Structure 1
Amino acid sequence: MARSSWFSRLMGWDKHPRHHHDFHADWIRDDRRRQVLFRDLVLPQYRNENIQSAIPAAEVTKVALKLRHLIELAVPCELDEEEITKAHSKIITTKVIKAAKEAGGSHYRSCVVFCLVVCKRWFKHQALVELWDADMHRVRAVACEVVAKQIIETEDDFEYLMHSVLLRRYSIIVDGEATPPANVVEKAVDLHAVRVIGSSGYQKCISYLWKGWLVQDEDDPAVFIDYKDKDNTSFFVHMDPDRIRAPMYQNATQVIISFVYIGLYTAVINSVNPTGVFDTAEVLLYIFTLGFICEEVTKFWKAGYHILGFWNAFNSVLYSFITLSFILRIIGLTHQQGDDTREFYSKMSYNFLAFSAPMIWSRLLLYLDSFRFFGAMLVVLKVMMKESIIFFALLIVLVIGFLQAFIGLDFADDWVADDILFILQAMANAVMQSPDFDGFDKFSPPFGIILYYCFTFIIMVVLLNILIALYNSAYEDIYGNANDEYLALFAQKTMQFVRAPDENVYIPPFNLLEMLVICLFWWMEKSKFERMSDIIMGIIYSPVLLIAAWHETKMAGEIRSNRARGEEDDDTIEEWEQMMDQVDFEADGWNKLCISAKTNLEADPTITEVQKLRGEVEELKKLLVDMTKALSSGGEVEPSQASTLIDVAEPEQSESKTKKKKKGKKSKKDKKAGGEGNASASSSSSDEE
């Protein structure tokens, strides 16, 4: 069934929701169309764009359908999410994990985790379609994440997990066509699968990508290979301009450029030039801004509207103010020095620059989200901004309605709408919790003041409390899961660098230099152009490359030390590991004692006792049957059977004897009490006589 048009959705004729997580695939298709239509206009890319799925898309789809059926049987009804996610769950058992691993067989088992992430997307979509079973489908989506996380964390072969499970690209069949290949790392980020992202194997893969220890193969971008020189202790080997493509070094360069940008802005705003002539700091500031604008335009051109978010809108507003300041300065320079018009435009230019100061400093948070403190805070702010959409939607509707009413009252009063500015200011004061009731008595009394009272009550009592409740709920939801949310943000940031399609990385404002250099590509040989690009990148990134080479040389020594000890490349010796080679828990029996003392968390104590009792009952029944057969055949009971039966029956007999003794004592007490009662009765009767 073909998807309906946007008009049908707007009118409410088609309420079937679309898949909200296909944005990455959509912008990949759009980018490929642009490359086909305008192949001669885009920047040069040397990688092969014909990425194929590692396993046929039809086979991957079959595995996904098998896993979907497994999850439906494992979670047959609506359950609490805690029953799925808790350790040693009775729903997602080891049998379910084992069955999920076997869904791909021996040939296609590497795509199982990818298929589980696909199943998560299917169940989330089904939760939107079937609202009557939305909770059940959401729990099933969570179950897909839990199973995928368990498979990742229980995989012993690290190389297989890294290269075949997490970084190998796979496709499925949708509408009869294969989707663009994607790997588990990308898919989990796009779907915000925080449990998969929070798994140990996934985070190790992200760490390797962040450090540049895993890089895309230049011949096949669908394959990630190990950085071959990560254990090389030579300083000059790591002075390679291609190392700037590592996300860690790209992020460091962006942070440095951001601080330089703030320094230039501070120099400009604190040294106002009365003549309006550009100085060096202003020229550099506007050049940096031009580079940032070109970067935003390039992102929009290559990825489309799908990547637009809060920071894109924020940066667009900031760059608009700075661009407007530059235009006003140019207009002022067209007039003679000393002219009032030139002074006016120069003053307005500096006013717009000063107005941009809070946004300039707030922009720095965009590049500090790799630090945990800023990252967790930005996640909370991001969710709060999304929740506030409900508040602003209601606010806009109410403001428009009341504004029209106030303007109508003003127009009906004297047939002239001359108090619009006063009305707007009074309504804005009410929104900011500072209402101004003076002046509304003249708006067709008593209607004007009554309307303003109603507007103030709705805004200050109803809407603002709704906004506070939304913010509080968002803060509790995110901050309670702050670690996983930060890991998801960090993974998203890493993949933004990894997904960059350009062979040569020119970070703004150096992208302006790339635009000049790229003109030489059309008449130079490929090898010479690459050599020239490496020289240019080596010069402009030389400060970062020097620090990076020193850092990687130091890390190479640690990698060699770890490999000599038989540990992973990124292993770090902690305090409790420094003397582990001097103790042997097996030799002194400490390990055996600890194993015998630990609690079996997988088994419920009540169930264990019931099972033990059931075994004893079965043994007793068997003994009784054997004795019955022996007696019926005229034989004798074996002494071993009799003794066993006696041992089993002794506790019951002793218990019955105890009960009989208690009962006898009770009866004796009753009789004694009865006798005493009769004696007292007889004595009383004798006294009466």
Structure 2
Amino acid sequence: MVRWAKLFGWDERDRRHLHDEIQHLLPSHREAEIISAIPARQVTYVALRLKYQIEQVVPCELPEERISAPHSNVITEAVIKTAKSAGKLSSSSDDHSACVVYCLLVVKHWFKMQAQLELWDADLHNVRATACEVIAKSIIENEEDMSYLMQEVLLKRYAIVVDGEDTKPSNAIEKAVDLHAVRVIASSGYQKAIAHLWRGWLVQDEHDPSRFVDYKGKTNTSYWAHFDPDRMRVPQYQNAVQIIMSFVFLGLYTGAINTINPSGDLDIVEGMLYIFTVGFLCDEISKFYKVGRYYLSFWNTFNSTLYILLMVSFITRIIALAHPIHSHERRMMNEFSYDFLAFTAPMFWMRMMLYLDGFRFFGAMLVILKVMMAESLIFFALLVVVLIGFLQGFIGLDQADDNQLGAVSFVFKQMINAIMGSPEFDGWDRFAPPFGLILYYIYTFIITVVLLNILIALYNSAYEDITENAIDEYLALFAQKTMQFVRAPDENVFIAPFNLIEIVFFSAPCLELWLPKKLFEQLNDAVMGAIYSPLLLVTAWLEARTARKVKWNRGRNESDDDTIEEWEQLASELDVEGSGWSKRVGESAPNVVEEKAVLEVQKLREEMKELKEMIRGLQTSGRNGEA
């Protein structure tokens, strides 16, 4: 759409109008469009106030440690309190404090953009962006009302004004994931909200898509109350279905690759394999359309490549079936199809690593792998330039040779060998001597000594950056995974490959357009209940058991997800005040908020004050004696 918009000379505003019109043409039973909880212009004003404050608080380039320190002398309590009050001015009766965290993330994005535009002040703007994260994290962690924090501050959707128009509303949870604001993501309140979304304790309001509300059946201990197909919207249940379907997908592939049909006919296992592939591919396309460019990641690209290779294998198999059964063309295309199928085997098993990110170790390693692949782009960009330059030089040296095709093949093979770390110098002494051998020596030196060491340095830097902040990176990965299930959700969840049922029997006949809304919802619930009934039997039991725990916690006036650990079992029987232990600990505990030198100066100031008062008292008594 963007390419055609550019072709016809449309600007960004025209493209946004076109996208909105297409969205309105899509069938949907949503009764209301998602709008900003606070007028977008007011949200923008709050963001501009915060931007002005950050620029005054960080007027010059400072070490990042001074900004991010636990008791920073830059981001003080007064600064945080002022930032929190940016949503409410004394001259206004409206209180927009709930959007402050969202606005801080917007300002962080602005400073990051400014760092790209003003490279001479990039370090200053990056430090200011860090300050936005630190303030936002402090506001989240200091908020005591968890219901207000999750539903108003983190999950309420807001928009700003850009080019005279309101942007698409989003919430602070989504914004932090999109901006990879790991400090905000790692805050306790943010993680509590993510945990509630993951468990399905916070769900999107059916009547107002801009709001998230508590799951009504959280305390319902009835088993059948939780046997509801709508609960398949819960991220952890969707994730469980995806894992099960991925293992089935892998099993189908293993069966297909180990039972080759020389005749080229499709058996049941191969047919199911390709049906699964179509379902997964349609699911990727649908999510990318709904979420947009933020959905793109290393693993999405990896999976899409696997699905495309499998579709190529399927297409070549269909072409083979179009030829006579004993013909050479059928046998050749059939072998070609199986070659593609066998080629994807490593990708099938590597794909299973995607579902190990629930474990902290594997999650951190997957983040490192993703960053390494991104860093590799710099290496490959340099490599392509070097390859083209030397390839042109080698071909130029061989212009006098009549067999240029053979020379190109020889040169290209030797150049690839050098990249893989096994250069071969045999034959170059007969290739335009002595220039061919000299040029190959130079090429090998640049590849093996310069470029490969650059790649190793990039990998090492990526590894150190991630491992130093491994916990926060893991939490960011888990938040991103949760938001893939939550943002732009389907009203009826058909997880791949079950999405083919929705496409063939619901979307293709356009049932949503001509069936009454209530009847269409009942039909969807019936189909989803039949599909997911084995899993719902388990999830209903788990939720009923969890409901009993929630009721027990509420009876103790504790949070819904509270658990009693070993150190809490007898804590209520220990009287630290009456035994005097609290006083003894307080007297011996060091002051870690302020530095020792500052404490000594303060102590010296008090002593000087006492000395002045003593001298003043002696002078007064002396005058009285003389009198």
The interval holding the TM-score normalised by the smaller chain is: over 0.9
What TM-score do you get using the length of structure 1 for normalisation? Answer: 0.84
Partner of 2:47: 64
State how 1:121-200 maps to structure 2 within 5 Å. Answer: 121-200=109-188
For residue 177 of structure 1, report the CA deviation from its aligned partner.
Answer: 2.4
1:260–1:344 CA distance, 2 compared to 1 (3 A): same
Distance 1:603 1:306 in 2: 42
Distance 2:57 2:47 in 1: 15
Distance 2:550 2:293 in 1: 42
1:416–1:120 CA distance, 2 compared to 1 (3 A): closer
Distance 1:163 1:216 in 2: 11
Conservation of the 8 A alpha-carbon contact between 2:115 and 2:123: yes
Distance 2:626 2:226 in 1: 87
- Residue 341 (structure 2) pairs with residue 358 (structure 1): no
C-alpha deviations, 1:80-112, integer Å up to 9, x for none?
Answer: 111111221111111212222222227122121
Partner of 2:91: none
Distance 2:219 2:590 in 1: 43
Conservation of the 8 A alpha-carbon contact between 1:64 and 1:119: yes
**SS of structure 1 residue aligned to 2:35:** coil
1:611–1:311 CA distance, 2 compared to 1 (3 A): closer
Conservation of the 8 A alpha-carbon contact between 1:627 and 1:637: no
For residue 219 of structure 1, report the CA deviation from its aligned partner.
Answer: 0.7
Distance 2:307 2:150 in 1: 41
State how 1:337-486 maps to structure 2 within 5 Å. Answer: 337-414=325-402, 416-486=404-474
Partner of 1:99: 82
**Pairing partner for 1:603 from 594, 604, 618:** 594
C-alpha deviations, 1:478-505, integer Å up to 9, x for none?
Answer: 1110110111111111111111342111
- Residue 605 (structure 2) pairs with residue 614 (structure 1): yes
Structure 2 counterpart of 1:579, one-letter code: L
Structure 2 unaligned spans of 5+: 89-93
**SS of structure 1 residue aligned to 2:203:** strand
Distance 1:240 1:516 in 2: 24
For residue 240 of structure 1, report the CA deviation from its aligned partner.
Answer: 0.4
Distance 1:425 1:75 in 2: 55
Partner of 1:298: 286
C-alpha deviations, 1:536-570, integer Å up to 9, x for none?
Answer: 00111112212211111111111112112211111
Conservation of the 8 A alpha-carbon contact between 1:276 and 1:333: yes
Q: How many residues align?
A: 611
Structure 1 counterpart of 2:474, one-letter code: Y
Structure 1 counterpart of 2:125, one-letter code: H
Structure 2 counterpart of 1:613, one-letter code: L
Partner of 2:29: 46
Structure 2 counterpart of 1:69, one-letter code: Y
State how 1:256-275 maps to structure 2 within 5 Å. Answer: 256-275=244-263
**SS of structure 1 residue aligned to 2:501:** helix
1:580–1:618 CA distance, 2 compared to 1 (3 A): closer
Distance 2:476 2:18 in 1: 26
For residue 625 of structure 1, report the CA deviation from its aligned partner.
Answer: 4.5
For residue 317 of structure 1, report the CA deviation from its aligned partner.
Answer: 2.4
Structure 1 counterpart of 2:480, one-letter code: Q
Conservation of the 8 A alpha-carbon contact between 1:411 and 1:417: no
C-alpha deviations, 1:314-360, integer Å up to 9, x for none?
Answer: 22322222122222222222333333433332222222111110111
For residue 637 of structure 1, report the CA deviation from its aligned partner.
Answer: 7.3
What TM-score do you get using the length of structure 2 for normalisation? Answer: 0.92
Partner of 2:577: 586
Please say which of residues 611-620 and 401-410 is displaced more in the overlay.
Answer: 611-620
Partner of 1:636: 625
Conservation of the 8 A alpha-carbon contact between 2:291 and 2:487: no
Distance 2:158 2:564 in 1: 37
1:30–1:147 CA distance, 2 compared to 1 (3 A): farther
Distance 1:451 1:604 in 2: 62
1:161–1:540 CA distance, 2 compared to 1 (3 A): same
Q: Which runs of 4+ in 1 moved over 6 A?
A: 25-30
Conservation of the 8 A alpha-carbon contact between 2:178 and 2:294: no
For residue 155 of structure 1, report the CA deviation from its aligned partner.
Answer: 0.8
**SS of structure 2 residue aligned to 1:112:** helix
Conservation of the 8 A alpha-carbon contact between 2:290 and 2:488: no
Distance 2:238 2:273 in 1: 21
Structure 2 counterpart of 1:608, one-letter code: L
For residue 626 of structure 1, report the CA deviation from its aligned partner.
Answer: 5.5
- Residue 97 (structure 2) pairs with residue 114 (structure 1): no
Structure 2 counterpart of 1:559, one-letter code: V
- Residue 57 (structure 2) pairs with residue 55 (structure 1): no
**SS of structure 2 residue aligned to 1:215:** strand
Distance 1:34 1:95 in 2: 48
Conservation of the 8 A alpha-carbon contact between 2:85 and 2:97: yes
**SS of structure 2 residue aligned to 1:225:** strand
**SS of structure 1 residue aligned to 2:537:** helix
1:414–1:335 CA distance, 2 compared to 1 (3 A): closer
Distance 1:96 1:250 in 2: 42
Conservation of the 8 A alpha-carbon contact between 1:410 and 1:417: no
Please say which of residues 411-420 and 211-220 is displaced more in the overlay.
Answer: 411-420
1:30–1:609 CA distance, 2 compared to 1 (3 A): farther
Partner of 2:210: 222
For residue 71 of structure 1, report the CA deviation from its aligned partner.
Answer: 1.9
1:329–1:414 CA distance, 2 compared to 1 (3 A): closer
Distance 2:339 2:160 in 1: 55
1:500–1:544 CA distance, 2 compared to 1 (3 A): farther
For residue 523 of structure 1, report the CA deviation from its aligned partner.
Answer: 3.1
For residue 416 of structure 1, report the CA deviation from its aligned partner.
Answer: 4.0
Conservation of the 8 A alpha-carbon contact between 1:239 and 1:546: yes
For residue 433 of structure 1, report the CA deviation from its aligned partner.
Answer: 0.8
Structure 2 counterpart of 1:450, one-letter code: I
State how 1:225-236 maps to structure 2 within 5 Å. Answer: 225-236=213-224
Distance 1:324 1:612 in 2: 78
C-alpha deviations, 1:240-285, integer Å up to 9, x for none?
Answer: 0000001111111111100000000001111112222211111100
